[in-house]
Structure 1
């Protein structure tokens, strides 16, 4: 199947913020063949031509999410992380059924697709049901099977065995892959973290773990072990391989050097960190230290949305506030964190950029709006997208060349029916 897309401009999704005006993107069998200006384009031949009046941008990569928590959106308002989890979230999650999780994931996936997010890293229960939901919507997901000591779950050793067995059953077509998601050093015994990391390295799986999210988390571990969280993980052979650390808010220079030594990537979650008053992560220092960094929404109960484009703007704003510098994180870098940088962070070089050889995960952002005026230089389109753009302007989304959102509506699932189903299930959880 050959497709040609024409657009006012393409935002490539690289670190320097390349914008191609009057652009053409050629796709064959779900992969991008060619990107450039219309003046330089090869003949279209028998390709199916789709003309979009605005920007074509890469499908956004959400590097840290617990998307089925749409069932808990808006719950436990005003509590810091530990109380938020223990007093409300974990007790309600104990009442979840696999059906609840699949319905919630389908609704969340539809929400993300309508906002231009085509890939998400999910750490949540019932991973096979999460994969089934993503199969319905047509999105992509890296599903890190969680390891966490909750009364409603099997023993941790059994959880790990199940996670490894499930990873071997991944389809291998780039739609869903499974990883291992040990929750955190403050909730799990260190030997479990070590065993999970060893299993992930053996099979080349993503190991996804919360690290240094709150100041108290690090202080407690430091008092007990005399080491920071990253140093503690290194000392117990948890680092190395495909490790993605969620949050990384409270990292000092030594921690950053350690992450660089082990090539640990970070999922930066500015909105969730701000809402729970966890702090502002040192993104500029991470990038300067050579770390791979992506952007994440975290769960929709602690954000409370899945709008990664909104997090792009917030990431840039908070970085500038933290550093006291208007150049601490450029618009191009902020957008790259949600696209090419995010793909690098999760070890998926086939995603995240509108570039030859990558998968044709494409998003059409309508620029026929006052938010996108004036445009003096093509690069203004990128800065307008970051500083004044909105996910409501996402009109169309393609995953591997397949259209999953058309004119703002999902083509694969009934979003309104899912909304009603989520509302009913959420009321049941809240009433128990």
Structure 2
């Protein structure tokens, strides 16, 4: 059934970051937006439209551009170790003991956590991809799944790449209710794969128009051999053809001016993960330079082992703070900028035009913000800049009340409605006991 929402304030996440007052959002029976604008200009409706009056603010669902959400099962381990030692000595050995159902349990709880935070889309890189898809569909999330592959004993990267292609050929690049699932390629990084694997990935993904999701220049010491041989990891990706297709670069911390130029010319999207970068002391990404080069930049939480939560509002706050510190400029990244990075900017980084903004034709992925709290004590009748500041600096995930994906309610009054959160937490606890 078609739906109409009457809302005091709508933030559609258009390029101007408009603040619409006394607004209406219409959703068709297919789960796509048909109108977003002033109530006074809204089209007339028929009797077959369900009308709802929402107090507060309606925004697009947030877009998490880089996550390993099944790692909720590993949350808290190795947090005080250096990045490479943490991976090699703690994370990878523990992951080797995980079974498919463990990854599913981790992904389901990760989806629940993100939905309750108003994050409706996440770009996931992990193994056991079929189980990730099952969990996302159960929770009602929208997910871009990149089955991860790496050059390690027992893992045949060539077969992994070919399997992704067969899956896309069988089910399509996007599938599921409301096109909730998009399949991608997930080469872990240049330093964990031979150059030939990057060549094959470029060829296979380009032929299918698929996104390639890869870690890029995260730490200063991870890709020394690649930099020595090719000048930089980005130059290596250019040589292998990966810059010619759809590419999502996670982290992108240690970049030269030439690297940034190559990324800009190729249209590569960047997933900026300030929380993970800070916790792991990986460095401070050149966010100002990336944005100045018109590179599409979204926000990412990384995995729950790297940043411990899946709260994209927190990443937005960290992005603002770190950008201001690095530039010694309190206007380096504003609340408006951060809001757009968490929504439309994230969609652009993923190469998606059907999510991240409330506009006709887009999926009705929406987040309802409750303003009955101390962070909105001044109410909604304030200047637009103050309203955005209160949302991004003070309220964040604490104020999320209701969430829809493709027009379907997935969170009501702060709780998931498609899955039992308590049961999911218990299932994860059991899985955690088995693998540690």
> Normalising to structure 1: TM-score of the pair?
0.96
Answer yes or no: is 1:402 the counterpart of 2:411. no
Measure the CA separation in 2 of the matches of 1:120 and 1:428: 27
- Stretch of structure 1 that moved more, 307-316 or 165-174: 165-174
Q: What is the Cα deviation at residue 14 of structure 1?
A: 2.9
What does 1:155-170 correspond to in 2, within 5 Å? 155-168=156-169, 169-170=171-172
- Stretch of structure 1 that moved more, 387-396 or 117-126: 387-396
Cα deviation per residue 1:208-265 (whole Å; 9 max; x = unaligned)?
Answer: 1110000112444323x15111112112322111100110011121100011111111
Other-structure match for 1:343: 347
Other-structure match for 2:429: 423
Measure the CA separation in 2 of the matches of 1:245 and 1:412: 32
Measure the CA separation in 2 of the matches of 1:358 and 1:157: 36
Contact 1:11 1:382 in 2 (8 A): no
Q: What is the Cα deviation at residue 37 of structure 1?
A: 2.0
Cα deviation per residue 1:331-360 (whole Å; 9 max; x = unaligned)?
Answer: 111111110011111111000001121110
Measure the CA separation in 2 of the matches of 1:44 and 1:380: 34
Other-structure match for 1:89: 91
Contact 1:94 1:152 in 2 (8 A): no
Measure the CA separation in 1 of the matches of 2:293 and 2:140: 36
Cα deviation per residue 1:1-33 (whole Å; 9 max; x = unaligned)?
Answer: 210011120111234321101211011121111
- Tell me which of 252, 265, 268 is aligned to 2:269: 265
What does 1:311-326 correspond to in 2, within 5 Å? 311-326=315-330
- Tell me which of 365, 372, 386 is aligned to 2:369: 365
> Normalising to structure 2: TM-score of the pair?
0.95
Cα deviation per residue 1:104-153 (whole Å; 9 max; x = unaligned)?
Answer: 11111011101001111110011111111111011111101111123343
Other-structure match for 2:257: 253
Contact 1:17 1:382 in 2 (8 A): no
Q: Which blocks of at least 5 consecutive residues in structure 2 are unaligned?
A: none
Other-structure match for 1:179: 184
Measure the CA separation in 2 of the matches of 1:237 and 1:378: 44
What does 1:111-260 correspond to in 2, within 5 Å? 111-153=113-155, 155-168=156-169, 169-170=171-172, 172=175, 173-223=178-228, 225-260=229-264
Instruction: Give the ranges of 4+ consecutive aligned residues of structure 1 lying more than 4 Å apart after TM superposition.
Output: none
Measure the CA separation in 2 of the matches of 1:276 and 1:242: 28
Other-structure match for 2:6: 6
Other-structure match for 2:418: 412
Cα deviation per residue 1:348-379 (whole Å; 9 max; x = unaligned)?
Answer: 10000011211101110101112013252134
Partner of 1:217, secondary structure, is coil
What root-mean-square deviation, in Å, do the aligned CA atoms of Structure 1 and Structure 2 show?
1.3
Contact 2:270 2:297 in 1 (8 A): yes
Measure the CA separation in 2 of the matches of 1:39 and 1:262: 43
- Stretch of structure 1 that moved more, 234-243 or 126-135: 234-243
Contact 1:209 1:244 in 2 (8 A): yes
Measure the CA separation in 2 of the matches of 1:48 and 1:104: 35
Partner of 1:355, secondary structure, is coil
Q: What is the Cα deviation at residue 175 of structure 1?
A: 0.9
Answer yes or no: is 1:378 the counterpart of 2:379. no
Q: What is the Cα deviation at residue 329 of structure 1?
A: 1.2
Aligned length: 428
Contact 2:6 2:25 in 1 (8 A): yes
Cα deviation per residue 1:53-103 (whole Å; 9 max; x = unaligned)?
Answer: 111000111110100000000110111221110010000000110111111
Q: Which blocks of at least 5 consecutive residues in structure 1 are unaligned?
A: none
Q: What is the Cα deviation at residue 44 of structure 1?
A: 3.4
Measure the CA separation in 2 of the matches of 1:380 and 1:362: 22
